Amino acid sequence: MDHVPRSVLDRALSTLTRRSLAERLHAIRALAEVRGVRYVDDAGRMRTIDIALRPWLLISAQLLHFHRTAVLLSSALWQLATLRTRVPALRVVLPFSAADEAWLTLARIPRARPWAVLGRLDSTAIYDEAGWQRDYRMLEPNTVGVGGVHYAPASCSIVLDVLGDVLEQAFPRRAITATPDPRQLLIDELHAVSRRLGRKLQGVAFIENTDFTTGTDEFGELAHDFNMRGLRAVVADPRELRWGRRGLTARGVPVDLLYRDSELSEFVSMERSGTRLSALRQAIQEGRLISGLSWEYDQKSAWEIFTDAQYARYFSPAQRQFFRQHLLWTRLVRDAAVSDPQGRRVALPAYIRRHRQQLVLKPNNLFGGTGVMLGRLTSQREWEAQLQRALRGRMRFVVQQLAHIPEQEFPMFGPSGGVAAVHRHVVSGFYFSSTGIGLVGRFSGKPVVNVSQGGGLIAGLWVH
């Protein structure tokens, strides 16, 4: 058997009464509140993120398959930093401002692993159907400030606590654990980078722009976890970094490496506002930033390079085969001739107008589902207006082939307060470092699936 059929866990769940299901849903919510699984909305309101009572179950062969997938795709992303300097056409597809380019020259690019990265690759993969290995598509890359590093292991621990007896009933004499912990992937990467620099890792700063007070609320939990593991950690704004007699400090605390939530555009904005980030610049030059600036090439338009035949020669046969099977046709929106999904040269704006039903428009650099427009849910007039903004505006957009977002059924509280079987759209994200992968699942009533859009989490468990 190359996967765990959905029916195996469903049979065990079907033995629970509605009252038992309700009690377990309440228990999941209570544990999520205690364990810091929360989100701050734009109005400053804190909400507890929902966690599905029904987890995803993976076997070792599936984890190995997606580890290989992550290696292929992250290696291709890693190539972009040097490839863009060699191929002038890529500077159009991966656009940076002059200020961005000046920062990028600070980055040290190691010739080999470790890569100084903790990233996430978002996909349509699900694991309990026969076509799991064939049918998934990779939606986009995210290698800077990835969400869920705390949420993913927290959701696994909560579901194991609440559903342990049911899992034991469904899988007698089988060990079931969380899938690899992205916090551990990050710690391993920090140690590997520190060894490469010839340093003993003793302190880490989680750096984020404190001008933003909404969104995911993970860094405090991550710092607490690291401190509990005996690794000194502090949360700081990039403007609170200093160099002095004790070396690099964050809010006065000596640190060796920086793990960032902030993107390069935020560093540029801070300096434009009059704050020179000299300590951060020196840390970048010394290779102390994770994820490093060389991962700023993870723009959604990277998929154009991977899905355009004119660039195929720069990638390995295995990468090219993977691109053909699992990547969605994507193009940076501009007034130009490009190849369409069949390889024919077309005028891109006209193609976008004609094929609205099969396409999605997305901001090239934003995250959290912000600004995503699905053509099939949009009128032609709204679509045209968004296309015009993409063609003339300062914000860059990509157009992407519409993916089939799977739907699955979960026991949840219905509008009346009772437990009901509810259908939700689902996506999965694979965390990757230079050595391993982890997993987080997400669900939503909307086809744009994201925690920031009101979605929830699905625990990824490993059936050994």
Of the candidates 21, 92, 137, 65, the residue with the CA atom closest to the CA atom of residue 417: 21
User: How many Cβ atoms are within 10 Å of 15's Cβ, its own excluded?
Assistant: 10
pLDDT in tens, 363-386: 998 776 678 999 999 999 999 999
- State the pLDDT at residue 110: 73
Would you state the pLDDT for residue 104?
Answer: 93
* Percent share of the chain, pLDDT over 70: 98
Assess whether pLDDT exceeds 80 at residue 30: yes
Q: What's the whole-number average pLDDT of the chain? A: 93
**289 has a pLDDT exceeding 90:** yes
pLDDT band at residue 215 under the 50/70/90 scheme: low
- Per-residue pLDDT, averaged over 277-299, amounts to 94
SS3 426: strand
pLDDT digits over 435-455, tens only? 899 999 999 998 888 887 778
Cβ(148)–Cβ(40) under 8 Å? no
CA 255/CA 350 separation, integer angstroms:
52
pLDDT of residue 454: 78
Average pLDDT over residues 264-272: 95
In tens, the pLDDT along 180-207 reads 999 999 999 999 999 999 999 999 999 9
User: How far is residue 274 from each of residues 103, 268, 269, 271, 381, measured CA to CA in Å?
Assistant: 16, 10, 9, 5, 42
Q: Would you say residue 156 has pLDDT above 70?
A: yes
Beta bridge partners of 412: 420
User: What pLDDT, on the 0 to 100 scale, is given for residue 114?
Assistant: 76
Q: What is the C-alpha separation between 335 and 350, in angstroms, rounded?
A: 9
- DSSP at 47: E
Per-residue pLDDT reduced to its tens digit, 297-306: 889 999 999 9
Domain chopping of the chain, boundaries: 29-298+406-463, 329-401
pLDDT of residue 71: 94
pLDDT tens-digit profile of 413-442?
988 888 999 999 999 999 999 889 999 999
Structural tokens at position 263? 């993107």
pLDDT, position 370: 75
pLDDT at 58: 97
Lowest mean pLDDT among 7-11, 405-409, 444-448: 444-448
pLDDT of residue 214: 66
CATH number given to 329-401: 3.30.1490
- Locate 225 and state its tokens: 């976890």
* Residue 147 vs residue 248, higher pLDDT: 248
Q: Element (H or E) spanning 38, and its range?
A: strand 38-40
In angstroms, rounded to a whole number, what is the distance separating the alpha carbons of residues 264 and 420? Answer: 44
Report the distance separating Cα 396 and Cα 387, nearest Å.
11
